[in-house]
Structure 1
Amino acid sequence: MTFQITVQPSGHQFPCDEDETVLAAAMRAGVGLPYGCKNGACSSCKGKVVSGSITHKPHQRRALTEDEEEKGMSLFCCALPHSDLVIEAREVAGSGDFPVKKMPSRVSTLERVAPDVIVITLQLPANEVLEYRAGQYIEFLLPGGKRRSYSMATAPGQGAISLHIRHMPGGLFTDQVFGTMKERDILRFEGPLGTFFVREDSDKPMVLLASGTGFAPIKAIVEQMRATGSKRPMVLYWGGRRPQDLYMDALCRQWEQELPNLRYVPVVSDALPEDGWAGRTGYVHQAVVADQPDLSGWQVYACGAPIVVESAKRDFTALCGLPDDEFYADAFTTEADLAKP
């Protein structure tokens, strides 16, 4: 059976099969609902069901609490309709501008930039063009129908893309990257995916917040802003447990020297004495709160572990006056995250 989904306030409508999630149907119809992980872990697709009936597939309770569900909130990546629906969601302009493709790629280089981080550069087919927005991600297509998602760390239009891969011991894909993968290997992927990219209809100053390899899409965004000559003020906060986790610190410091509209603030939470760290310490989102007590006129683009993203949104909106709809995020979820209740 097929149901009709109506999105408020846009009025857009699209059909959704009873065994299909609202998000999947919206993507198929070219309706730009926001999303990230597509697995019920990051809460990027959260919206309200104004009328109609749904059930949710398994998801993490931190992404949608029981109290929120009772109030009609929904994770549309997990929502299966049982009737026609009217939903409330903030649509993302431009999210459907570029086609999602499946294509092969060749591993061009493998560079270990930290003890547990490798940068993979993929050469794309000469006869293919991958159009995307800086900040989006791809999904590797693995045996057995498995998929693994990684953000592109390079701005569009370069003929190659780079990805920052952190080793997760026991991980289906990362064990391969850190063990058997070699240059010239062929990898298949699908993309571009995700709605984490700069909203170009605004000239507000931006906080770019990254933790760990959440730096990858932030790097692409900075490169894209630089390439287009944008003058929007940007403050980049990059957090890691130890200085070695800020594996492209020198590049960020170079940006700060070359881009008058960019300031860089590295933050380390658990430096050891032998690290000799003399910079900012603590949690990276708390450094933003200390430096930017009034975010009412800003936009925030945050990427990293779910706990970092959730803490940042909570504190920026509650303590710094950031409008809820000016917080844009991509929470990096692992298979271990998805396995949690």
Structure 2
Amino acid sequence: MARLILPQLGRCIPVAPEQTILQAALEAGVPYPHGCRSGRCGSCKSQLISGGVELGKHSPFALTEEDQAKGLILACRSVPTTDVTVEWLDVDYVAMPTVAQGATVVAVESKTHDILAIWLKLDDRSAFRFAAGQYLSFAMRGGPARHYSMASQPDDELVELHVRLVPGGRTSGLIHTSLKADDRVEIEGPAGSAYLRDVHGGIIVAVAGGSGLAPIKSIVETALGAGMRQEIHLYFGARTEDDLYLVDHFCALEQRFSNLVFVPVLSQATKTEWRSGFVSEALAQDHQDLAGAKAYVAGPPAMVDAVGSVLAGCGVASSDIHADVFFTPGDGVEAVA
């Protein structure tokens, strides 16, 4: 059995055969930075100091060939072939205590033809501390637990989630067809490393696709509420007008805060009032130099990959791109809806 040595914690952890570095670390209770667990977001990017690993399939955005030449790996895709010594790169990562508790549904509201917003009153809100951009595990009777990002701010009394109806998704289907006020559900969290770095003073670029607007909403509103005065560029990508939501809300915020720029983009726009094309294309058209910026990206895998490539081309360091990848069963990984 291989051993995983973590100098940052002074720990040595056994790794079972075929187990990834991330799996072994989490099983041992180590708060290892991670997000998607499937090689897409890059949150678990780490330096392989010694030893060997078998690196599984991953997105070139999450780990480039240049990264690999420097000895970088993704903990979620790396199975040790020998004893390994590893350090994660996200030195700003702070793990929040994970708690499990019950919650009561306060309200359910339709936002689009396939996205619902739900508000939860937790049994012990003070015990549930999260950072803007993180997610929780949600379970209701009749369906498996699924991950949904918080759209509310960390200090809000109620926890707001946005749930897209996924074709064939058991839990999202139950939420859309039967969840109602006063229902009881179970939550556990928080989790995720694509959260707001509030000590950063550079430009913020926030890009959302579909229900990926939930964590981006939390990040942008929290930054504005905390008095962060740097430029904040918020891009929201959707297919058609029917897929847009909260546009009036963000337009109102844009009027209120001079440092916020809100750009909705439709890939299949039918009206000239909307910016048309892919959100990654709009980002590339608007910016050439984003060196020193922090970027937060949430949405489907293809969008995250495309936006990540644009950001890298604009000079954003990979360590400054924080991605939350929203998978569906069709993406070939464990379902999240």
Aligned equivalent of 1:13, options 10, 14, 18: 10
Q: Structure 2: which amino acid aligns with 1:215?
A: L
CA root-mean-square deviation: 2.9
Q: Does 1:169 align with 2:163?
A: no
What TM-score results when the alignment is normalised by the length of structure 1?
Answer: 0.86
Q: Please give the secondary structure, in 2, of the residue aligned with 1:187.
A: strand
Q: Tell me the SS of whatever aligns to 2:237.
A: strand
Matched, 1:313 2:311: no
Superposed, which structure 2 residues align to 1:249-260 within 5 Å? 249-260=247-258
Alignment match of 1:220 (pick from 218, 221, 225): 218
Which residue matches 2:331? 337
1:180-210 Cα shifts (integer Å, max 9, x gaps)? 2222111112100000112223200111111
TM-score, structure 2 as length reference? 0.87
Q: CA deviation at 1:337?
A: 1.4
SS in 2 for 1:226: helix
- 292, 297, 300: which one aligns with 1:302: 297
Which stretch of structure 1 is more off in the superposition, 33-42 or 224-233? 33-42
Q: Per-residue deviation at 1:103? A: 1.1
Judge conservation of contact 2:13–2:28 (CA < 8 Å) in 1. Answer: no
Question: 1:53 matched to which residue of 2?
Answer: 52
Distance of 2:28 and 2:226 partners within structure 1: 30
* TM superposition shift of 1:338: 3.2
Match of 2:109 in 1: 111
* Counterpart position of 2:186: 188
**Partner AA of 1:15 in structure 2:** C
Shift of 1:2: 6.7
After alignment, is 287-296 or 19-28 more displaced? 19-28
Q: Residues 92 and 304 (structure 1 numbering): CA distance in 2 closer, same or farther, change over 3 Å?
A: farther
Moved more, 46-55 or 225-234: 46-55
Shift of 1:214: 0.9
Counterparts of 2:137 and 2:103, CA distance in 1: 12
In the alignment, is residue 77 of structure 1 matched against residue 72 of structure 2?
A: no
State how far apart, in whole Å, the 2-side matches of 1:302 and 1:100 are. 23
Find the counterpart in structure 2 of residue 283 from structure 1: 278
Question: CA separation in 1, counterparts of 2:139 and 2:13?
Answer: 25
Percent same amino acid at aligned positions?
A: 32
Write the letter of the residue equivalent to 2:213.
F
Matches of 1:176 and 1:91, distance apart in 2:
36
Query: Which aligned pairs between 1:21-32 and structure 2 lie closer than 5 A?
Result: 21-27=20-26
**In structure 1, distance between residues paired with 2:54 and 2:60:** 17
SS at match of 1:294: coil
One-letter amino acid matched to 1:3: R
**What 5-or-longer segments of structure 1 have no aligned partner?**
none
Change (3 A) 1:127 1:190: closer
Distance in 1 between residues matched to 2:266 and 2:64, nearest whole Å = 35
Query: 1:92–1:195: 8 Å Cα contact kept in structure 2?
Result: no
Q: Is the 8 A contact 1:48 1:87 kept in 2?
A: yes
- The residue type equivalent to 1:160 in the other structure is L
* Aligned positions of 1:153-164 closer than 5 A: 153-164=151-162
Contact 2:45 2:89 in 1 (8 A): no
**Contact kept? 1:41, 1:338, Cα under 8 Å:** no
| Structure 2 residues not aligned, in runs of 5+ | none
Distance of aligned partners of 1:246 and 1:160 in 2 relative to their CA distance in 1, 3 Å threshold: same
The answer to whether the 8 A contact 2:47-2:89 is kept is no
Separation (CA, whole Å) in 1 of partners of 2:40 and 2:324 = 11
Change (3 A) 1:165 1:94: same
**How far 1:118 sits from its partner (Å)?**
0.4
Whether 1:324 and 2:318 are equivalent positions in the alignment is: yes
For 1:244, the equivalent position in structure 2 comes to 242
Distance, in Å, in 1 between the alignment partners of 2:196 and 2:257 is 18
CA drift of 1:74 comes to 3.5
CA distance in 1, matches of 2:145, 2:256: 38
Q: Secondary structure at the match of 2:76?
A: coil
SS at match of 2:127: coil
Give the secondary-structure state (helix, strand or coil) at the position aligned to 2:196. Answer: coil
Give the Cα–Cα distance (whole angstroms) in 1 for the partners of residues 204 and 91 of structure 2: 18
Q: What letter corresponds to residue 311 of structure 1 in structure 2?
A: A
Match of 1:136 among 134, 137, 141: 134
Assess if the C-alpha contact under 8 Å between 1:303 and 1:330 holds in 2.
yes
- Letter in structure 2 aligned against 1:84: D
Report the Cα offset of residue 145 of structure 1. 9.4
- 1:82: Cα distance to partner? 4.7
With over 3 angstroms needed to count, the CA separation of the structure-2 counterparts of 1:63 and 1:285, relative to structure 1, is closer
> Secondary structure of the residue that 2:170 maps to in structure 1?
coil
How far apart are 1:293 and its partner, in Å? Answer: 1.0
